[in-house]
Structure 1
Amino acid sequence: MPVPAHRPRLVDSVLLLAERPRPRTVAAWPHAHWLAVGTVCLGAFLGQLTASITALVFPALERQFDAGFAAVEWVSLAYLLVLVALLAPVGRLSDTVGRKTMYLGGFAVFALASLAAGLAGGLWVLVACRAVQAVGGAMMQANSVALVARGVPAGAMRTALGIQAAAQALGLALGPTVGGLLVAHTSWRWAFWINVPIAVLGLLAGWFLLPRSRPDAARTRRAESPSSADPAAVAVARRESRFDLLGLVLLVAASSALLLALSTASGLPLPGWAVVVLLAAAGLCSVALARQEQRADRPIIAPGLVNTPGVRAGLVVALIGYLLLFCPLVLGPVMLDSAGVSAGTAGLVVTALPAAFAIAATAGGALLPRHWSDARRGRAGALVTTAGLLLLALLPLSPLLAPVPLAVAGYGLGLLLPANNALVMRSVPAESSAVGGGMVNMVRSLGTALGTALPVLGVHLAGAGAGGRAVLLVLVAAALAAVRLCGAGRPRPVLRT
């Protein structure tokens, strides 16, 4: 049945979803698009700050709630799982509601959830607050790149996206230092409360500085909808617009079962047989997901796209890269805490990795030969990362020595990940760029989740010392796999004579 023409206005007015234009003085300024980029950078900074700051509070949370490491890690895992689940549907919903509205709503949800997280009186209340916080994170993350792309001239897009990446890197770099200092001198609660003023600033800035993302939604909807006189066109349009809800449920179920199995093996108070059951559930859900994506009209993980030369290997490298990036951020504070190092000092030590990553991601490529391809740059970065992680596993753990190999590993990852992401997006057909970008976001979140779960498993099985070094050796093997996979599967250019 056709939707009444007045319904979009009614929904907008009732739910207060109608996007407001910028003030005329802002819109008329020739460089107003950089104000919009700055607003998006606040969200990018906030997302990475909360990702890297949380690992520093794990030891404090264990003491505060008298809980094991396997339980405390769900403060991060709950956030990541909800983020994986919501990125795709929120992106689709934003096309209807408006990206500016959704982005500003993300700031509001993030601020309220951060405030509640800091007030949490129990561990699982904190986990629930982090899950709600992830809803706000998904509302921001799913729209940030699109807001930049729509808000700047075509010639300035690369520079704008580079500035956004620098804001992400800055948040990632500052997180461990800020988190360590807050835990050492105030309370772990401030690691969450610090998000509130940043989110409020982003909300206010976005209200005044972001352009409307759907200036005439009703007209656009009428122009894009097929004629009701053509039933075949209507049927095709409805089929193509159908969201792959079953695929999303299976993806989240498989991811959750795998991470719960790792947590149970790491000391989560569940029966031993639960590990086998959860691993079996993860396997069955993965098989069902593969079959569902083969027959879905608009699959979340498009099999045809994954099988495109260069895409599959690139997605695996992206997962490995974020595993290598976040695993030391979780493992380092735990190993240093067991050695008697204060939270403030541990935060400063661990900051060496994301700080070097930020430098390399924004300017490190300039030190490499210009004629090097992205595949060669990625392999070089993976080799540097391997060397840094190997040094970290072999050298004595101390606040004086640890920053050097951490910086080496971070610098290598700053070379690897941008080059690999460029390879993936260059391999994806132009008409599938949104789907390709969504899959990169998913594997990034899954890699981060594995980077949180793996240290917990190693520490539980063999202690912070031996178990931590065993985990680092596993990371060395993963980095070597990234060397082999980076650029693999891409068709070689044909040399013309």
Structure 2
Amino acid sequence: MNATVLATRLLTERARPRGIAGWRHAHWLAVGTVCLGAFLGQLTAGITALVLPALGQHFRTDYAAVEWVALAYLLVLVALLAPVGRLSDLVGRKTVYLGGFAVFALASLGAGCAGGLGVLVACRAVQAVGGAMMQANSVALVARGVPGHAMRRALGIQAAAQGLGLALGPSLGGLLVEHASWRWVFWINVPIGLFGILAGWFLLPRTRAEPWAPRSGGGDGRFDLPGLLLLTGATTALLLALSTASGLPLPGWAAAGLLLLAVLLALGLVRQERRTARPILAPGLVNTPGVRPGLAVALIGYLLLFCPLVLGPVLLTEAGVPVLRAGLVITLLPAGFAVAATVGGALLPRGWSDVTRCRFGAAVAGAGLLLFALLPVGVAWAAAPLLVAGYGLGLLLPANNALVMRAIPAECSAVGGGMVNMARSLGTALGTAVPVLGVHLAGAASGGRTVLLALAAVAVLAVALVRPAGRAGRPGPPVL
């Protein structure tokens, strides 16, 4: 069997068994499979944050070196989300999604077996490739695989899976590091990845009915390599500059230079995307009514989610709260997020549109963060504001994702999902860097409250940014 035939077979999506495809609730099985990838991605993010001190001790190096274990993953992930989305629209979203599970599991196995820090960082970069293959398709698979009336609920369930992974990550990571080994932080992904491949093979509908094969000679078949390089350079420069606030040892002039480089490369990317036949970021999609503000709201939403997760433990431990108790209190934020994303809408009026839900959710999140900033620091005072903020974000983000995906044509849904996840990842990076910068500049108490007040103001901005969706991008029934 030659390489072309083998590649064609691997890239040919298989239909679900007839018994599953014919069941009227089969789309919820597909949503559950996508939730598995969403849970795995956020679980990995939470667990990895706990393992960095243990890695420093094991490899006998400082925090600046082991920080690359987290940074390498984030750099590769953000750079590849949109390009992988474009590739998925061409090849097939199911194919790329299942491939993401395989790459993620193999890289996790290698990371757990790594004998040196350099090998571990390289495995984390490969792991990010698998993460991008899953994340770039998760929103698209949900949005295009369920009936229109169920899209918001399905995206809410997916967001709840992310919140659950985020809530369990720190506690599970602490247990594994304390009672087993840091290696199990990565090995635990292997069985989850294998189960995801099996579940997706049987439960996900195929997204291409015909085999995919690369085109020869035609301009329409070319991949936008210059766009990929510009996007990678711009996001890498931006995230490295932001990481200086999180402890990356770079001088001030280097951080300023990286920010300038990010701006220049972004301008070059805009010019490249406007003149190429197959742009990675598809400016036409960004300019669709409702998409650009929707991406901004997605970024703000994850900024509002991750800032308190980073800042809360600092404020509570500074006030004398034990670390374990502080961690349990902080989990109320993702717990409120998960509850609101699944069943929180039942408390709202039935006639509310997604726009109204977004605005109400952003306002509630802002109110929770404002209370967290103004009330005394302590377990009793922090619990309710964090729960309120999480509830508001759990209403905001699924409804906002539904608005964005309705505005995007079906044939570009993976690109749109990739852009949503890129905005989410940038919001996560900002949510990690901003609180650390505030604490460094003004101390834990004063700097923390200033950041929380600023977050409440940003939530008001999100209320103002929410817009109705543009043209609908819903396709017909999904391919079996």
TMscore range, shorter length: 0.7 to 0.9
Match of 1:353 among 327, 333, 339: 333
Larger deviation, residues 284-293 vs 457-466 = 457-466
1:237-265 CA-partner distances (Å, limit 9, x unpaired)? x3333332222222221222122223335
Secondary structure of 1:401's partner?
Answer: helix
In the TM superposition, what is the alpha-carbon distance from 1:432 to its structure 2 partner? 5.0
Is 2:439 aligned against 1:459? Answer: yes
Tell me, in whole angstroms, the C-alpha distance in 2 between the residues paired with 1:32 and 1:479: 37
Tell me, in whole angstroms, the C-alpha distance in 2 between the residues paired with 1:251 and 1:327: 25
Is 2:448 aligned against 1:468? Answer: yes
Name 1:229's counterpart in structure 2: none
Name 1:444's counterpart in structure 2: 424
Rg: which structure is higher?
1
Tell me, in whole angstroms, the C-alpha distance in 2 between the residues paired with 1:106 and 1:435: 16
* CA 489–214 in structure 1, closer or farther in 2 if over 3 Å, else same: closer
Match of 1:323 among 277, 296, 303: 303
Name 1:50's counterpart in structure 2: 44
Contact 1:385 1:413 in 2 (8 A): yes
Name 1:132's counterpart in structure 2: 126
Larger deviation, residues 100-109 vs 285-294 = 100-109
* CA 25–478 in structure 1, closer or farther in 2 if over 3 Å, else same: closer
Name 1:282's counterpart in structure 2: 262
Q: Which amino acid aligns with 2:257?
A: V
Contact 1:73 1:453 in 2 (8 A): no
Is 2:396 aligned against 1:398? Answer: no
Secondary structure of 1:456's partner?
Answer: helix
Q: Equivalent residues in 2 for 1:270-309 (5 A)?
A: 270-309=250-289
1:115-152 CA-partner distances (Å, limit 9, x unpaired)? 34345566655443322211111222233455557767
* CA 473–64 in structure 1, closer or farther in 2 if over 3 Å, else same: farther
Q: Which amino acid aligns with 1:354?
A: P
Tell me, in whole angstroms, the C-alpha distance in 1 between the residues paired with 2:190 and 2:124: 14
Kindly, what percent of the aligned residue pairs are identical? 73
Name 1:82's counterpart in structure 2: 76
* CA 352–75 in structure 1, closer or farther in 2 if over 3 Å, else same: farther
Contact 1:262 1:457 in 2 (8 A): no
Secondary structure of 1:444's partner?
Answer: helix
* CA 123–331 in structure 1, closer or farther in 2 if over 3 Å, else same: farther
Name 1:171's counterpart in structure 2: 165
Tell me, in whole angstroms, the C-alpha distance in 1 between the residues paired with 2:311 and 2:182: 18
Is 2:69 aligned against 1:103? Answer: no
Name 2:137's counterpart in structure 1: 143
Tell me, in whole angstroms, the C-alpha distance in 1 between the residues paired with 2:468 and 2:29: 40
* CA 119–207 in structure 1, closer or farther in 2 if over 3 Å, else same: same
Match of 1:254 among 223, 227, 234: 234
In the TM superposition, what is the alpha-carbon distance from 1:374 to its structure 2 partner? 2.4
In the TM superposition, what is the alpha-carbon distance from 1:306 to its structure 2 partner? 2.6
Q: How many residues were matched structurally?
A: 471
Contact 1:55 1:329 in 2 (8 A): no
Tell me, in whole angstroms, the C-alpha distance in 2 between the residues paired with 1:465 and 1:437: 38
In the TM superposition, what is the alpha-carbon distance from 1:475 to its structure 2 partner? 1.8
Is 2:370 aligned against 1:379? Answer: no
Secondary structure of 2:381's partner?
Answer: coil
Is 2:179 aligned against 1:199? Answer: no
* CA 97–375 in structure 1, closer or farther in 2 if over 3 Å, else same: closer
Is 2:18 aligned against 1:11? Answer: no
Contact 1:181 1:343 in 2 (8 A): no
Is 2:290 aligned against 1:310? Answer: yes
Secondary structure of 1:397's partner?
Answer: coil
Tell me, in whole angstroms, the C-alpha distance in 1 between the residues paired with 2:470 and 2:31: 33
In the TM superposition, what is the alpha-carbon distance from 1:56 to its structure 2 partner? 4.2
Match of 1:364 among 344, 350, 360: 344
Tell me, in whole angstroms, the C-alpha distance in 2 between the residues paired with 1:430 and 1:99: 12
Q: Which amino acid aligns with 2:239?
A: L
Name 2:478's counterpart in structure 1: none
In the TM superposition, what is the alpha-carbon distance from 1:353 to its structure 2 partner? 0.7
Is 2:82 aligned against 1:117? Answer: no
Larger deviation, residues 407-416 vs 332-341 = 332-341
Tell me, in whole angstroms, the C-alpha distance in 1 between the residues paired with 2:24 and 2:374: 55
**TM-score under structure 1 normalisation?**
0.80
1:132-184 CA-partner distances (Å, limit 9, x unpaired)? 21111122223345555776788877765554444334323333443344455
* CA 202–126 in structure 1, closer or farther in 2 if over 3 Å, else same: same
Contact 2:79 2:236 in 1 (8 A): no
Tell me, in whole angstroms, the C-alpha distance in 2 between the residues paired with 1:54 and 1:430: 35
In the TM superposition, what is the alpha-carbon distance from 1:85 to its structure 2 partner? 2.2
Tell me, in whole angstroms, the C-alpha distance in 2 between the residues paired with 1:265 and 1:340: 25
Match of 1:410 among 372, 387, 390: 390
* CA 99–429 in structure 1, closer or farther in 2 if over 3 Å, else same: closer
In the TM superposition, what is the alpha-carbon distance from 1:423 to its structure 2 partner? 2.8
Secondary structure of 1:217's partner?
Answer: coil
In the TM superposition, what is the alpha-carbon distance from 1:193 to its structure 2 partner? 3.3
Secondary structure of 1:315's partner?
Answer: helix
Secondary structure of 1:458's partner?
Answer: helix
